[in-house]
Each structure stands twice: as C-alpha cells, then as structure tokens.
Amino acid sequence: MDESKSLFEFHSKREVAENFSLDELLPFARENNLQEWLAENFYSFEARKVTSAINNKLSDAELKLLLCKIFDMPPENLSADELAEISETVEKNHRRELFMKKSSDDRKSAFVETQGELVRALNSDAKLIYLCGGEFRIPLERGGVTYIGCENAIIDLDEEDFIDLDASDIILEDLQVYLRHSNGLRADKSKDIKILDGSKKILGERPTLKEIFDILRGRKPFEPPENFKTRSENIRGAAVGLTLLEEKNYDFDAAQFDFRPQWDFEYISALKNFVVGKNFSVKLAPQDAENLYGNERKLQIFADFTYHGGKLTILNLYFDTKTLGRVEIEITEKISSASFTGSSCMFGLGYGLDIITAYDMRFEHESISHVAN
Amino acid sequence: MRAFHTLRTKNKSDFALADFEIFTLILSALEWQKHNGEIFLYTDTTGKNFLREAELLDLWDGVETSLDEMDKLGMDENIFWAGAKLFALSKQPLPCVMIDLDFIVWRSLNFDCKLAVIHRESKNLSCYPDKNYFRLKNFSLPENLNWSLDPCNAALVYFGDKNFVARYVEFAFEFMRAAEPLANQSGWDLLPYMVFVEQRWFAMCAELCGVEVQSLSDLEELFGEQKTFTHIWGYKKFFRENPATAEKFCRDCAGRIVHDFPQTVEKFSRLPLTKKYFSFS
C-alpha cells in the first residue's frame, strides 16, 4: 500500500476505486476508517452496510464482494484470484437465497457448505442450519438444532449406540442419513430423510466375518491348496470400503461416475496390489446417475474374492444399491504396450526374477519333458 | 527348437527401449540359444534400425522386418498391442516356440505334445467377460465357442500343430479387424479384447481343433520356488516408476551375463546401451 495515499484525500467513490485495491480497502473497513469516509462524503447507507458486515463477522471474501458493489469496482481491476474468490462468494449467496426459505422461525439461521462452516455456525449458536451439497457430521450432544438439507446434502452418523434424535430435539429435513452402525435411529420429528444402511459387513449369511478374516490370513501350512481355493472362492459380498459420490465427478458424455474409495484396512492385504494406482467408476446413464446420487450418495463397496497364483485376491467390486440393484465397479488404467505382454497381470508384478542372481543352480543340465496323454 | 521374439515399434520415430528391457531381451535370447536352440526376431524397419544402432542385431540367429506389413492389416494396434506376435506366428515354420521379449527360459525344454503354454489363467477374472461384452462390426462370434475354458497365457507358447496355428491366426485377425469398442473406452475396458483373442480364443480354438493344451506350469509354482522361468511382466511398469530398482536389476542382469556368457562381456562393456552396467569396480 502506498503509505502517502490517504483515503481522505478523495471525495468520490470513483476516485477511491481508481486509487485503492480491494486488499487496501479491507483494513480501512476493519478499522472503521472506510465507514467514516463514507459517512463524511454523504454515503450514509453504504457506511451502514459496511458496519453491519463487520458486526456480522463476514469473511474477507464477502467483504470484498460488498466493497466491489459499493465502489463499482471494474472487474479488470481485480486480480484473477480476487475474481475467482468473488465469483465463488456470489454463487454461494445465490445458493443461499435459493434454498433458505423465508419462514416465521425466528431462530438464528445459517447456511453452510462445509464442515468448517457448520462448526462456525454451531459456535455462533445457530439453531436453524441449512446444509448444502456436502457431507456433514453433526454433534448429537447439541440439541435443539434443525438441519435442513439442500443439493443432496448427507449426514454421516458414526454412533454405535441407539441414536435418539427426538430426545435431543434434533430435527432433520431433506437429508440423506448414512448410518455406519445398525443399532437403530429414532427421528419421528424429522421429515423427508433417506436412511442409508452402511452397517453391512457382508451380503448374505456365510461366510461369517470371522471366517473371512481367517481366510485373509492365508493358506494354513498343512492345508491342501484346493481346500484354500474353495474357501477363498466362497467369499462373496464382503464390504471392503465405501465412497461418497460427488456430482462434479459425473461425466455426462461418458455416462460414467468416477469416485474415490475409502478402503477398509481389514482387507488391505488382499487389496493392496489390486487398487494401487487405479481409477474407479461406474457406468450409469444420466437418469440412473441422478437417481442414485439423489437417493444413495454414500455407498459401501462390496467385493467377491478368488484364488489366483496362490493368493487370495479380488474378483469383482460392486455396489449393492436400493435404487439400481447391483452396480459393477469398473477399474480403469491406461495400459501401454510397454506395461503388459498380453495378460492382465492383475495379481502380482512378475515371477522368477530371483533366478537372475541364482548363479549356483544345481540343475542346469536337467531338462523338462512334457508328454502327451 | 526354433523360437521367435516379436518387437513391434509401429515405425515410430521416437521408439526406444528402457535399459531393463534391453537386458531382459539379451538374456532371453542368449539363454534360449544356450539351452534350446535358435531364436529369431520378427520386427519392423524401425525396430531393426534401433537394434542395428545399438549393435544388438547379432543377438538373434536372424532378424526379419515382416511386421512392416502390419500397417495394412486394418486393426487397431492400440487395442491389440500383442497382435504383432500373432502376425509373426503366421510366418513361422512349425514346430516353434513363441516367447515374449521379457521372458527368460533357464533350462532345456522338450515338448512331446502338440500345444503347450506357460500357464492357464482363471476365466473368472474380470478381464474375461462373456461374449456380450464385445462390440464387433459385421462379425459374430461363433456359437460353438466354449466359454467355460480357462484362457491360456501366451508369454511362452509351443506350437506343434499346423491346423491349429492356421485356424488360430485366421480367426484372430478377423476378430481384431472387426473389433469396435466404444469411443470412450480405454485401459481396462479394452483389455478384454486383447486377452480374448490371444488367450481365450487360444483355448477355444484348441478344443475345436481337437488338440490338447499342456501347461508347462501354473501361477502358484511360477510365483513360488521354481528355477526355470522368469517373466518380468508387471515389473516393467514398476521399473519405469522406480529407476533405482531398475538400475539394480540391470546390474544383476549384467552380472548374470558375465557368469553365463563371459565371451560376450567385451562386447557389452563397449555398447552404449549396456556398458555402464558392466563396470564392476
């Protein structure tokens, strides 16, 4: 900032806009100098708006937007970052106006799009909170709050005990609710909520989780390979991870929903060679994608296992959805001719590399014969 | 026993092989000659020029550039990257062994059968979908194909039956010319096309020709304690992403060359692509 420049040298909004950047005006606003200047130059309404914005603890981005409007800042005077920041704030304000309903509810309200904003809203004692678009964790110990969802917002409840929202006077509206545990939920006062069951560890009755984890330990030393193979191939529908669908990751032209899995580390030994460096997606027509996103945004990933190359590994990955039934997950990776010699190579890197340094082979002159039947 | 390698560059002007690929093909060729017999290379003009400049042409008992003809075949080599192997196969006198450049055989092999592959794959893997997966233009898959057969990995294959080879190759090229995946498919979506024609059709064709396919080994043995076969396979990608490990691999290969083929050390110690790995001081 040019220290020799004083705000009070100027007397019109145009002059201020030409001589100061938004970053230079912000501290004036926070120190009340800008409000004084506005009042002295007969811009009383604008002075009150800035004072109100400071008192309501608006963010820097929102203050900058207000100053842009007050001083008619030409967009070409803004940096690319400032333009992006202000555009985002404008869009957020539009969403807020679109979704926050006018009502007789005089409780303090807030419109939040991230968990951080939710925390700030709760700390400011908001009682009517609009959750927009994202995934949220709400404090079950903070009663008397109504959460209204918009843009397919979802709440993740990771409470192992019975959840009684009614007793805490927590009300949910228009939300997807993902329950990580199956111990029950009471939410009679809530409305238009979609309960998503994220508690399944395995589809079907057998094998049990205990049996699966026993198989994951590998073939027992005295166990015939055929027996281990059979045990491995009996694992069907094990919950190996979960994911949250984001609408921005839907590719309309490819009719494909990309997603990032969160893997369950119980299965890491079987997963590690299979999932590293891969992209995951499901092929869904736009209508199906919209339905799934609108009804079941958070999904468990299920796997069928198989036995290959002496190891337990993944055969298939899929979602088990209420909306569309079983949806196969596709694994994509660019494959070049240099990476593969014609096989899938899904189960390991290569074999026999240790032979290269095994100079003391005792059977160099032994040949291998294959005899036809 | 005659064997052949295939190197397809598609005549790209910027073609190159990584150091670890150079060492693998050196050992593949030399060890085959040591234990089993002659080995020939089928490549294209760019591949031959590359190897000539690298002074490696004399590794093989002969080098052919018949893969230049592949440009006119009307198949997408981005989908069928191993199609060159099958084209080279069509040029071979029988019996012969088809061996990948990153595959090394450390012992003598005798074949008293008509067809042998290194190992079978499990048909239940997701890269082997059923017939409805394939989009083919003006071509239908025959009704008499047996989809219950396990596919055959083709990193090393012994061919001893002319009827089988003729039928295998003819259908393979019809399929490859007819393949028409969706435009947005790539990577894993396309893999089923290649492995169908190379591996799955192999097993189906053998059954239709009435020829049994012997497996030289299985994956459990290959990834276990065996001392006969080396297949770099997925390590190629690993080596590209881990240069230090690739360098150690090259030094290990150089050490093996010194041990098994001391008469070649003077040459490899001089060649631009290999010399730095032969400085053992």
Say whether B214 and A370 touch across the interface (CB within 8 A).
yes
Do residues B71 and B62 lie in contact, with contact meaning Cβ atoms separated by under 8 Å?
no
Contact (Cβ atoms closer than 8 angstroms) between residue A328 and residue B80: no
Of B104, B120, B113, B110, the closest CA to residue B226 belongs to B104
Tracing tokens 């593949």 back to the chain, one arrives at: B28
Task: Let me know whether A76 and A134 are in one domain.
Answer: no
Specify whether A219 is located in the same domain as A143.
no
Cis upstream peptide for A74 (omega within 30°): no
Question: Which of these, B38, B178, B156, lies nearest to B89 by C-alpha position?
Answer: B156
Q: Where residue B254 sits, what CATH number does that domain have?
A: 3.90.550
The reply to whether A300 and A259 lie within a common domain is yes
Its domain, for residue A306, covers 209-355
- Rounded (5°) CA angle A338-A339-A345: 145
Q: What gap in Å lies between CA A17 and CA B20, rounded to an integer?
A: 64
Tens-digit pLDDT profile for residues B204-216: 999 999 999 999 9
- A254, A339, A353 ranked by CB distance to B230: nearest: A353
The helix or strand, by DSSP H or E, that contains position A247, with its residue range, turns out to be none
In angstroms, the CA B49 to CA A338 distance is 19
pLDDT at A363: 40
> Residue A372 falls within a domain, yes or no?
no
SS3 call for A65: helix
Q: Which of A197, A225, A251 is the last residue of a domain?
A: A197
- By three-state DSSP, how is residue B269 classified? coil
Please indicate, yes or no, whether residues A187 and A219 belong to a single structural domain of this protein. no
In sequence order, which residues have a C-beta less than 8 Å from that of residue B24 and are 6 or more positions away? B101, B102, B104, B232, B253
For A117-176, the DSSP string reads HHHHHHHTT-SEEEEESSEE---TTS-S-EEEEESS-EEEE--SS-EETTTTT-EEEEEE
Block residue for tokens 């899904």: A346
Instruction: Tell me if A367 is assigned to some domain.
Output: no
**CB within 8 A of B231, min separation 6: which ones?**
A341, A350, A351, A352, B100, B102, B103, B104, B118, B155, B222
Taking an 8 Å cut-off on Cβ atoms, the answer to whether B126 and A315 are in contact is yes
The closest alpha carbon to A28, from A6, A13, A49, belongs to A6
Instruction: Answer whether A372 touches B (CB < 8 Å).
Output: yes
- Measured in whole angstroms, how far is the alpha carbon of residue B153 from the centre of its chain? 10
The pLDDT value recorded for residue A270 is 73
Note the Cα B65 to chain centre separation in Å. Answer: 17
Please check whether residues A123 and A223 belong to one and the same domain. Answer: no
Domain that holds residue B247: 3-278
Chain B partners within 8 Å of A225 (Cβ): 220
Taking the CA of residue B187 and the nearest CA in chain A, the distance in Å comes to 4
DSSP-assigned letters across all residues of B108-169: EEEEESSEEEEEE--TTSTTS--GGG--BSS----TT--TTSPPEEEEEEEE--HHHHHHHH
Chain B interface, mutation test: which of A273, A344, A355, most B Cβ atoms within 10 Å?
A344
- Tokens 């909520």 -> residue: A193
φ/ψ (deg, to 5) at A281? -160, 165
Answer whether B239's CB lies under 8 Å from A354's CB.
no
Distance CA A10, CA A21 (A): 14
Q: What is the ipTM of this complex?
A: 0.93
CA distances A208 to A205, A264, B181, B243, Å, are 7, 17, 40, 44
How is A311-367 classified by DSSP, letter by letter? EEEEEEEEEEETTTEEEEPEEE----TTT-SSS---S-S-B-GGGGG-TT-S-TT-E
Q: Is residue A92 part of a domain?
A: no
Q: What is the pLDDT of residue A366?
A: 39
Q: What is the pTM of this model?
A: 0.51
Q: In this structure, is residue A104 part of a structural domain?
A: no
Q: Is-contact A42 A13, C-beta < 8 A?
A: no
Domain co-membership, A43 together with A154: no
Domain contains A364: no
Chain B residues within an 8 Å CB radius of A276: none
Q: Which of B27, B189, B237 sits opposite A332 (nearest CB)?
A: B189
Output the CA–CA distances (angstroms, integers) from residue A229 to A203, A266, A344, in the order listed: 20, 20, 20
Structure tokens at B136: 């083919």
Residues of chain A where predicted confidence (pLDDT) is lower than 50: 1-2, 334-347, 361-373
Among the partner-chain residues A334, A350, A357, the one whose CB lies closest to the CB of B234 is A350
CB B81 within 8 Å of CB B176:
no
- Please say whether the beta carbons of A321 and A292 come within 8 A: yes
Measure the CA–CA gap between A176 and A180, rounded to whole angstroms: 13
Domain count, chain A: 3
Q: Are A239 and A193 part of one and the same domain? A: no
Whether residues A308 and B240 touch (CB distance < 8 A) is answered with no
Contact B82 A349 (CB under 8 A): no
pLDDT, mean of each 10-residue run, chain B (281 residues):
95 91 97 96 96 95 94 88 94 96 95 94 85 89 93 96 96 94 75 93 96 92 88 88 88 93 92 87 45
The reply to whether A242 and A328 lie within a common domain is yes
Q: Comparing C-alpha atoms, which of B43, B201, B213, B27 is closest to residue B115? A: B213
Within a domain: A253? yes
Alpha-carbon distance A329 to nearest alpha carbon in chain B (angstroms): 11
**pLDDT tens-place string over residues B251-271:** 999 999 999 999 999 999 999
The answer to whether the bond into A225 is cis (omega within 30° of 0) is no
Please tell me the distance in Å from B215's CA to the nearest CA on chain A. 9
Residues A188 and A214 grouped into a single domain: no
Q: Are residues A144 and A246 in the same domain?
A: no
What residues of chain A lie within 8 A of the CB of B211, using their CB? none
**Min Cα separation A344/chain B (Å):** 7
Q: Decide if B235 and A361 are in contact by the 8 Å CB cutoff.
A: no
pLDDT at A47: 94
* Chain centre distance of CA A96: 21
Structure tokens at A177: 């609710």
**A102 inside domain:** no
> Same structural domain for residues A229 and A334?
yes
CA distances to A230, B105, B166, B194, B203 from B147, in Å: 21, 31, 21, 16, 9
pLDDT reported for residue A230: 84
Min Cα distance A308 → chain B (Å) is 7
Query: What is the count of residue pairs from A and B with beta carbons less than 8 Å apart?
Result: 181
Beta-bridge mates of residue B15: none
Which runs of consecutive H residues, i.e. helices, occur in A135-285? 209-216, 225-233, 268-275
DSSP H helix total and E strand total for chain B: 10, 10
Residue A365 belongs to a domain: no
Whether A256 and A294 map to the same domain: the answer is yes
Q: How far is A227 from chain B (nearest CA, A)?
A: 14
Total number of domains in chain B: 1
**What is the torsional sign of CA B138, B144, B150, B151?**
negative
